[in-house]
Amino acid sequence: MVLLQRPHILLLLIGTHQFLQCWIAFGSFNEEGQKQEEFSEELLLKPLPDHKLLAHFHFQSSAPPSTSNGCHHHLFPKVISQLVQKFRVKEMELSFTQGRWNYERWGGFDPISSSNAKPPGVELWAVFDVPQHHIDASWKNLTHTLSGLFCASINFLESTATYSTPEWSFPPASGNVRYGTLPCEAVCTENLTPWLKLLPCRDKAGIALLLDRPSLYRGFYHSQRLHLTSTESSSEGIDSGIILEQTLTVVLQPNSERAVEVHASEKHIQPSWSLSSIFGKQVSGRCVLAKSSSVYLLLDRGLVAELKFPNKENGKSAANGLTSENVWSNPSFELSANPDRIFLEESSSHSKSLSILYMFQVEKCSESEPFDIGLMWKVPVAWLCQQTPLHASRFLMGSGNERGAIAISLKSTQFIEGFMSANSKDGSCELRVDVFQVVPWYVKVYFHSLRVFVDQQPRAVSDIIEKIHVSPSKDKMSPGVMEVVLKLPCRVNTAALTIEFDKGFLHIDEYPPDANQGFDIPSAIISFPNFHASMVFLEDDSLSKSPLLSKFQEKCPVMSYTEVLLVPLTTPDFSMPYNVITITCTVFALYFGSLLNVLQRRAAEEERFLKAKAAKKTGRLPLLLSMLSAKLRGRRREPLHSPPSSSSFINSKLVLKVILVAGLAVGWQYFFS
């Protein structure tokens, strides 16, 4: 009987262990009704018009307030919780970006581009819940902590000359915010590995298994982002804990022929792709600690408008027809797997067409049947992504190493026509544009030289600029900050801002190793407060369970980043000190070497050397004659007479050498002094 009961006990223990694991993983409630930690993983795939593919990974971890669980965590990374508690961070965002987001081809009026399109390098901003006089100290400690955590040079942002304090133009506008960027920071796998360690399953299981390093860094755009929101120390009574969002946005080329850029896309079929062909891996199952694991395929509004959809005129009827039982099929493309659910976007006032979202559940796949979604195009399709109201670009004017000017150009897009028709009732339509720009202290900007051009015509600054805030730079103390609110007419075609500056001088110790390459001016932020990007899908129970779709429904401000400017400054000839040191060391080596050689030689040794040398030159016949003559005379043989050389002569030569070397040294020093 004991032998029969042991298998039952073993099965009971295994079942109890699995139940406890699932109970922890799915974030159930404890006995007191308090919410536990949760984790979800999602992947969004989106075809782009220029034959590329957008892959957006979204991981979200949430932890309850520290009053419920204390300092213990099951899923949430403990290092993030300690960072929030120690420095009292209310909100923070850190991004590592390689490449620049192409707003003209990849769009700018959608939640992905507005929230995840970041400037090249490192961008960090944080909001602290501390008194004003403690913010700078908290920022310094935060940068050092993040620098060690993500193996980057974020600690360079500790200096007051590298970060700024936005007033109202930056989206998280508050007095406790600090903003800093490092445009020249390189992004590599050393930054991605610590980012992956914050995930419960890392990159060993689930959707994160697709994060193959060569595939990611081979893309045209790569941005890893970490957004942190904490309400533990809020004074409003809200106590929801900490929410950590980790996103990775990559733009990849599906096919291997990446060298040829296709300009006439309407004449070429979009390349077919699959997860295995892009990342070289397949999803063999979800992370066991994840509450939800899903993969989405998004067809944006421009693409949907070009394709022929059934029941496209009526959104509700189309939504009823697009279900998992009646899979929507289109002659333009073919999916390798049937979607579990299909969502249709609600009607939007900014666009007549609607987006379609295909949902695939990863819970159903396993190691024997891995998940591998693919899209095969059949006919050529050409479309345009939805643009921002104005396309912004920035460039330098002037020449030389003394003066110059910064110009910000705004060009109208097709999207502004719809906005103008919807808001211009009495012809007094206005478009508001916020500009936030940070300039390093060694670029001395003259803010009084600000000029405004509308449709290539100069305009008065007071007529276009509604509000402006300027913080002049201080040498080696703080950068220059300019925040401007522009009120442009809706029918504007082009607008431009120009501002002049002088190029400063740095101390030789302040130049970086690659000073001849130039100095970077961080990207300017162009935001449109009157526009908000969001995707609201038809009501469904699964929408509230998806953090990614819930994030899409939130209204985020439309904003874009300009280019990073490279300013050449006057740099000294760093090879000149090397040349001076080299020739000086050579002269000193010759001087002291010759002096020591002269002082260490002995006169007697040189005399013996000369006698031996003279004896070798003398033949055997004179030697025999001298020996015979000595025997005949009965006297001792005298040595042969050596060449005329004596110790006095040798000593005079040594003295002359010493005097000559000393004279050369004195002349050299006098010439260079």
Q: Cα(52)–Cα(252) distance, rounded to whole angstroms?
A: 6
Q: Is residue 36 over pLDDT 90?
A: no
pLDDT digits (tens, 9 = 90+) for 153-197: 999 999 888 899 888 888 776 678 999 999 989 898 999 999 999
Strand 38-47 with 292-299, pairing: parallel
Q: Cα(603)–Cα(651) distance, rounded to whole angstroms?
A: 8
Residue 144 lies in a domain: yes
Structure tokens at 631: 């025997």
Mark which of 381, 407, 436 sits at the end of a domain. 381
- Tell which residue, 353, 359, 345, has the closest CA to residue 535: 345
Give the per-residue pLDDT at 422: 52
- Banded pLDDT at 562 (limits 50, 70, 90): very high
- Banded pLDDT at 613 (limits 50, 70, 90): confident
- Banded pLDDT at 80 (limits 50, 70, 90): very high
Residues 524 and 442 in one domain: yes
Residues 359 and 425 in one domain: no
Q: What percent of the chain has pLDDT over 70?
A: 77
Q: Which residues of 406-418 are buried (b: 16+ CB within 10 A; e: fewer)?
A: bbbbbebbebbee
Residue 520 lies in a domain: yes
Residues 404 and 331 in one domain: no
Give the per-residue pLDDT at 28: 40
Residue 669 lies in a domain: no
Q: Is residue 330 over pLDDT 80?
A: no
Please give the sequence-ordered ranges of beta strands (E in DSSP) within 381-490, or none if there are none.
390-397, 403-412, 430-439, 443-454, 457-459, 465-471, 480-489
Give the per-residue pLDDT at 321: 38
| Residue 25, CA atoms < 13 Å, CB-side half-sphere | 19
Residues 394 and 369 in one domain: no
Residues 293 and 194 in one domain: no
- Banded pLDDT at 411 (limits 50, 70, 90): very high
Residue 426 lies in a domain: yes
Higher pLDDT, 570 or 180: 180
Residue 15 lies in a domain: no
Which whole number is the average pLDDT over 649-657? 66
Q: Is residue 100 over pLDDT 60?
A: yes
CA distances to 57, 120, 192, 386 from 222, rounded to whole Å, are 11, 9, 11, 21
CB 610 within 8 A of CB 643: yes
Give the per-residue pLDDT at 57: 97
Average pLDDT over the chain reads 81
Give the per-residue pLDDT at 285: 86
Tell the residue number behind the tokens 């939130």, with chain if given: 554
Residue 427 one-letter amino acid: G
Structure tokens at 349: 């006032």
pLDDT digits (tens, 9 = 90+) for 355-373: 899 999 988 888 888 889 9
Strand 121-128 with 177-182, pairing: antiparallel
Residue 585 lies in a domain: no
Which whole number is the average pLDDT over 9-22? 51
Which whole number is the average pLDDT over 472-498? 92
What 3 state SS string does 226-262 have? Answer: EEEEECCCCCCCCCCCEEEEEEEEEEECCCCCCCCCC
Q: Is residue 402 over pLDDT 90?
A: no
Residue 647 lies in a domain: no
Judged by average pLDDT, the poorest of 86-100, 194-208, 315-329, 615-629 is: 315-329
- Tell which residue, 159, 191, 164, 194, has the closest CA to residue 177: 164
Give the per-residue pLDDT at 621: 63
Give the per-residue pLDDT at 251: 96
Give the per-residue pLDDT at 658: 78
Residue 317 lies in a domain: yes
CATH number, domain at 414? Answer: 2.60.40.1170
Residues 363 and 460 in one domain: no
Residues 250 and 281 in one domain: no
Give the per-residue pLDDT at 337: 87
Q: Cα(87)–Cα(91) distance, rounded to whole angstroms?
A: 11
Q: Which residues of 347-378 are buried (b: 16+ CB within 10 A; e: fewer)?
A: eeeebebbbbbbbbbbeebeeeebbbbebebe
Q: Cα(649)–Cα(438) distance, rounded to whole angstroms?
A: 78
Give the per-residue pLDDT at 4: 39
| Cα torsion 485, 489, 495, 499: sign | negative
Q: Is residue 409 over pLDDT 60?
A: yes
Give the per-residue pLDDT at 348: 64
- Give pTM, 2 decimals: 0.79
3-state secondary structure of 445: strand
H-run or E-run covering 532: strand 525-533
Task: Please count the structural domains in the chain.
Answer: 3
Mark which of 206, 241, 265 sits at the end of a domain. 265
Structure tokens at 643: 């060449």
Residues 446 and 377 in one domain: no
The β-bridge partners of 556 are 533
- Tell which residue, 41, 403, 401, 52, has the closest CA to residue 202: 41
- Tell which residue, 587, 556, 656, 579, has the closest CA to residue 93: 556
Domain span at residue 291 reads 269-381
Largest CA distance in the chain: 145
Judged by average pLDDT, the poorest of 236-245, 271-280, 633-642 is: 633-642
Give the per-residue pLDDT at 632: 67
Q: Is residue 628 over pLDDT 80?
A: no
Give the per-residue pLDDT at 447: 92
- Banded pLDDT at 308 (limits 50, 70, 90): low
Residues 156 and 231 in one domain: yes
Q: Is residue 416 over pLDDT 90?
A: no
Tell the residue number behind the tokens 């819970």, with chain if given: 363
Higher pLDDT, 153 or 620: 153
- Banded pLDDT at 313 (limits 50, 70, 90): very low
CB 367 within 8 A of CB 284: yes
Give the per-residue pLDDT at 574: 81
H-run or E-run covering 93: strand 89-98
Q: Is residue 42 over pLDDT 90?
A: yes
Residue 171 one-letter amino acid: P
Q: What percent of the chain has pLDDT over 90?
A: 42
Q: Cα(359)–Cα(298) distance, rounded to whole angstroms?
A: 9
Which whole number is the average pLDDT over 573-583? 84
Residues 303 and 397 in one domain: no
Higher pLDDT, 598 or 319: 598
- Banded pLDDT at 311 (limits 50, 70, 90): very low
Mark which of 265, 290, 318 sits at the end of a domain. 265
Which whole number is the average pLDDT over 335-340? 89
Give the per-residue pLDDT at 22: 46
Give all strands of the β-sheet with 121-128 in edge-to-edge order. Answer: 163-164, 177-182, 121-128, 89-98, 221-230, 242-252, 53-63, 38-47, 292-299, 356-361, 341-344
Give the per-residue pLDDT at 23: 47
pLDDT digits (tens, 9 = 90+) for 446-475: 999 999 999 999 999 999 999 999 999 999
Which whole number is the average pLDDT over 395-414? 91
Q: Is residue 236 over pLDDT 80?
A: no
* DSSP letter for each residue of 299-316: E-HHHHHHS--TT-S-HH
Which whole number is the average pLDDT over 125-134? 92
Q: Is residue 654 over pLDDT 80?
A: no
Give the per-residue pLDDT at 32: 44
Q: Is residue 419 over pLDDT 60?
A: no
Give the per-residue pLDDT at 257: 44
Please give the sequence-ordered ranges of beta strands (E in DSSP) within 578-622, or none if there are none.
none
199: which DSSP letter? S
Residues 60 and 164 in one domain: yes
Residues 246 and 323 in one domain: no
H-run or E-run covering 150: helix 135-150
